[in-house]
Structure 1
Amino acid sequence: MAHPPPRPAPGPPDPRRGIPPVDVVLAHPAVADDVARLGRARALPLAQEVLRQARGGHLSPTQVVDDLAARLRARTVPGCTRPVLNATGVVVHTNLGRAPLGEAATAALLDAAGYADVELDLVTGRRGPRGAAVQDALLQAVPEAGAALVVNNGAAALLLAMTALAAGREVVVSRGELVEIGDGFRLTELVESSGARLHEVGTTNRTHRADYERALAGRAAPGSAGASPAPAPADGPDVAALLKVHPGNYRVTGFTSDVPVAELAEVSRGAGLPLVVDTGSGLLAPDPALPDEPDARSALRDGADLVVASADKLLGGPQAGLVLGDADLVERLRRHPVARALRVDKLTLAALGATLRDPGSVPVTVARRAPAAGLRARADALEGVLARHGLAATVVPHDGRVGGGGAPGVPLPGWAVALPEDLAGPLRLGDPAVLARVHDGRCLLDPRCVPPAQDGLLLAAVLAAAARVGLGGEGGSPAAGGHPAG
């Protein structure tokens, strides 16, 4: 009598048996708030996709909730802007909203979303100065300034300065500094819209101290730069201020010269005129890594009466414009009627204050200082997982950039993962959206501006995009909050 073959020894239990039902996942405390924010109808397909990945073996059951949480956070309610993973290597990316806010600034936004002490002194119960805490933080960061003022962007700061100090009169500026900023806006048109008239000196590539002195020859006797200027004599130029602008989005090299702030300050003081310096990028103090980038502290030490700059570039804060300098001049700007139209809201003040209190953790600073070795390790890990999924990828050297009109031409050495160019479009349209750099027929993913905690999310987006165009395996993901090799 034949005996039945022996039964095979039981293997380890299938881990997929631990995959929770979709209703249990959606009710988990880690995702419940985001499900409520988006609505169940929009959250359900995301949960079903995560569970499909888990059932296919691309995701462990213990990673389901974390992966769903990351996907939910990357989604927005209808009509709002969509979050984007910035894989271009450009730190201050104007088309992506410039500076990403840090955790402290984001938390401050939530705290200020309700009622907040924007113009209230909680000690006395009376009205207090608007944004006093932010002004104090700015003066601590730039002790050379006698006062500070915050308006809604860098261009507004310059516009207000020109309106309050020089409307109906002349402003002396070098021809080499008549820059065009984003979207076709030109400094010449901005200044002239204030009612001031530009008095151009020098040439495109070379301007000397004597050019400014000739422009001021025959003025009335000098007075105090902080006081209201005396009217110009009938036979002299009607100059109200000197202006120096940092051409942050380009460089002129070769046979060039300009007048440093310290030397220009001597000219302005001799004429009793205020010197306004537009540093542009919002760097508050010198940075050895950016030796040619002007900063507010140095400009004020060198004799500038007012410094204007953007807060959402190298400072890494929300969109805002900064005015720092002589207390009397800042007060004149603050009391001007135009200042009311340019003032910032409570959310901007909250985010800016938090950014100033913890500058070392600001994402812009962290990204531009990221060591190349760490970027190489992250790129290698991403390339390794993509290769295991059958997607051709190569790690290549890649220089990032500061961007946003800051430190033009200064490379930020790093690494990127090179993929087929055809992936760039699907990545932009994926969930989450990923913006890569397309160069020389390749789609380059630079991890510099992607928080390490989102490396898993980036990997999942690449796999999903590759699957949609038939370039690789199924769109899988490790833990969305971890490293690809984890």
Structure 2
Amino acid sequence: MAVRGVGDEADPRRRVPRTDAVLADPRLAGLRERVRPDALKASVLSALDRVRSGELGPDRVVDVVLRETGEDPTSLRPLLNATGVVVHTNLGRAPLGEDAVRALEIAAGYVDVEYDVATGRRARRGRGAVDALLARVPAAGDALVLNNGAAALVLAATALAGGREIVVSRGELVEIGDGFRIPELLESTGARLREVGTTNRTHPADYRAAIGPDTGFVLKVHPSNFLVRGFTSAVPVRELAGLGVPVVADIGSGLLAPHPSLPDEPDAASWLADGATLVIASGDKLLGGPQCGLALGESAIVQRLRRHSLARALRVDKLTLAALEATLRARSTPTGEAITAAPDVLRHRAEELSRRLAAAEVSARVVASDGLVGGGGAPGLTLPGWAVELPEAYALPLRQGRPGLVARIEQGRCLVDLRCIPSARDEEVVRAVLAATDLIRGTDPG
């Protein structure tokens, strides 16, 4: 007769529920009606394996089965980003950190988004997010949060240059995502564009010659998603600020202060210090928060934007304000951690993944893999790292898994890059590849 050890009762692996007991649990009644028996049993067995490995507590089995097998309340599919592209536009750009997710849970109910609990009266909307933003960028006199960067630019053009001219370099009239172009966006506000310079070279004299009584402001746009090299010339913000008219500067990516890993990316604090009247930035991308647009600058100018009637149509909801405030107050974000991930750590994780797969007789090897910032940020910068190489046939079943894993297809290979996947989820990557292996082996006619 086996003698139970002193610590056995405390070991959750000693209390693995029976498969039939889990399948009969009343909480799974709805699933038993909607899900195929073999699929439901497979989900239960997978959860029980996680209990045996110590990854999951015995009392969490049914919750996990419900979450992973049940009918989701949204058509959006959870994905693991194994592409190596940090700010991946098609995958929702910046993933939110734990603090931001917690903030969304709080904001889901009734909250004091524009209510003063001390006086019982209406308060300024989103003051927490604005205060957090100003704490990060002290050079700004005030700030406004809008639903994206393009909205902030449209509001600035409407409020500051409606029926007047915006002076801008031809080399900065860029096209942004999904075919939207800055010239068309600005002209839709009723402002007129006064283009100066050429595609590759613009000088201070070009701006001076164009500025006149009808000038609403000078616009400076960081190209973000492309580079022009060679015989080029551009006028920096500090020189534009001396022209005697407001300067609206769109940095695009959302960097609030200089970042040592992104030396060529402009930031809001520096451009405000150089004399920009208003800086427009993204709230996600490099900042790593929810998608929104930020307008920071002189108090009087920001107030003009805030009081303009169009601002009401472009404002963000309580969920965005909550997630943005939490992101601004957090010590780090998943985006920042992915950008600065150490190559040695990435190689170690890739080697461990390769070892686990080799034990299951999966053909995998570790290869060098350069990541990218993505989202229009730092287009000329590569992020050294490592990936696990699989046959290209893995790409589709990995994407269709639960959660789906989106890898990078390159030269007939499927590369699983762990840069954008938290190390705590490496076990999910292993299970995803093994599940894809079972599908491939099961459908292979050979």
TM-score using structure 2 length: 0.90
Deviation at 1:49, TM superposition (A): 1.3
Report the secondary structure of 2:86's partner residue: coil
Q: Structure 1 residues 379 and 472, CA, compared in 2 at 3 Å: closer, same or farther?
A: farther
2:437 corresponds to 1:466: yes
| Structure 2 SS opposite 1:407 | strand
Structure 1 residue 266 displacement after superposition: 1.0
User: Within 5 Å, which residues of 2 pair with 1:173-192?
Assistant: 173-192=168-187
Letter in 2 for 1:398: S
Q: Distance in 1 between matches of 2:313 and 2:30?
A: 33
Shift of 1:334: 0.5
2:230 corresponds, among 254, 269, 272, to 254
- The answer to whether residue 76 in structure 2 is matched with residue 89 in structure 1 is no
CA pair 71-333 structure 1, distance change in 2 beyond 3 A: farther
> In structure 2, what is the equivalent of residue 366 of structure 1?
337
Aligned twin of 1:292: 264
Structure 1 residue 325 and structure 2 residue 297: aligned?
A: yes
Q: Describe the SS at the equivalent of 1:289.
A: coil
Whether contact under 8 Å (1:150, 1:320) holds in the other structure is yes
Conserved in 2, the CA contact under 8 Å of 1:50 and 1:67?
no
Q: Is the 8 A contact 1:276 1:306 kept in 2?
A: yes
SS state of the match for residue 137, structure 1?
Answer: helix
State the match for 2:288 in structure 1.
Answer: 316
**1-side partners of 2:173 and 2:128: how far apart?**
35
CA change 1:324–1:288 in 2 (3 A) is: same
**1:417: how far off?**
0.4
- List structure 1 runs of 4+ shifted beyond 2 angstroms: 15-19, 21-28, 35-47, 50-55, 57-76
2:314 to 299, 321, 342: 342
Q: Map residues 404-419 of structure 1 onto 2, 5 A cutoff.
A: 404-419=375-390
DSSP-derived class of the 1:348 partner: helix
1:396 maps to 367
For 1:43 and 1:107, the matched residues in 2 are separated by: 34
Whole-angstrom distance in 1 between the partners of 2:33 and 2:113: 36
What's the TM-score, normalizing by structure 1? Answer: 0.83
Q: Distance in 2 between matches of 1:42 and 1:318?
A: 34
Contact 1:286 1:298 in 2 (8 A): yes
Tell me the distance in 1 between the aligned counterparts of 2:29 and 2:109. 19
Find the partner of 2:242 among 231, 241, 266.
266
Check conservation: 1:22, 1:47, Cα contact below 8 A: no
Give CA-to-partner distance per residue, 1:274-311, whole Å, 9 cap, x none. 10000000000000111110000000000000001110
The answer (yes or no) to whether the contact 2:16–2:51 under 8 Å persists in 1 is no
Change (3 A) 1:54 1:150: closer
Task: Answer with 322-331 or 64-73: which moved more.
Answer: 64-73
Equivalent residue number for residue 446 of structure 1: 417
Equivalent AA in structure 1 for residue 290 of structure 2? P
For residues 39 and 122 of structure 1, the distance between their equivalents in structure 2, rounded to whole angstroms, comes to 47
Aligned amino acid, residue 225 of structure 2: N
Residue in 1 that maps onto 2:7: none
Match of 1:20 in 2: 17
Q: Aligned letter for 1:435?
A: V
Change (3 A) 1:241 1:44: farther
Question: 3-state SS of the aligned residue for 2:316?
Answer: coil
| Structure 1 partner of 2:42 | 49
* Matched letter for residue 283 of structure 2: A
Q: What whole-Å deviation, never above 9, does each CA across 1:14-53 have from its counterpart, x for those lacking one?
A: x99964234654799xxx8xx7999985698765214445
Q: How many residues align?
A: 432
In structure 2, the residue matched to 1:355 is: 327
1:135-214 alignment, distance < 5 Å: 135-214=130-209
Gaps of 5+ in 1: 1-8, 220-231, 233-237, 474-486
Contact 1:157 1:322 (8 Å CA) reproduced: yes
Answer whether contact 2:114 2:123 (CA < 8 A) is retained.
yes
Pairwise CA RMSD: 2.9
The 8 Å contact of residues 209 and 264 in structure 1, kept in 2 or not, is answered as yes
Q: For residue 211 of structure 1, give the secondary structure of its aligned residue in structure 2.
A: helix
User: 1:284 & 1:78 partners in 2: Cα distance?
Assistant: 35
Q: Percent identity?
A: 58
Instruction: Judge conservation of contact 1:278–1:308 (CA < 8 Å) in 2.
Output: yes
Letter matched to residue 89 of structure 2: T
Counterpart CA distance in 1 for 2:256 and 2:439 is 46
Aligned residue for 1:224? none
Question: Contact 2:44 / 2:65 at 8 angstroms: preserved in 1?
Answer: no
Separation in structure 1 between the aligned mates of residue 252 and residue 118 of structure 2, nearest angstrom: 37
Q: Deviations over 1:135-154 (max 9, x none)?
A: 11111100000000000011
- SS of the residue 1:140 aligns to: helix
1:229 corresponds in structure 2 to none
Structure 1 residues 173 and 39: CA distance shift in structure 2, 3 A: farther
The 5 Å alignment of 1:73-152 reads 77-152=72-147
Pair 1:302-2:274 in alignment: yes
Rg bigger for which structure? 1
Contact 1:19–1:51 (CA under 8 A) maintained in structure 2: no
Measure the CA separation in 1 of the matches of 2:30 and 2:337.
30
Larger CA deviation: 408-417 vs 69-78: 69-78
Q: Identify unmatched segments of 5+ residues in structure 2.
A: 5-11
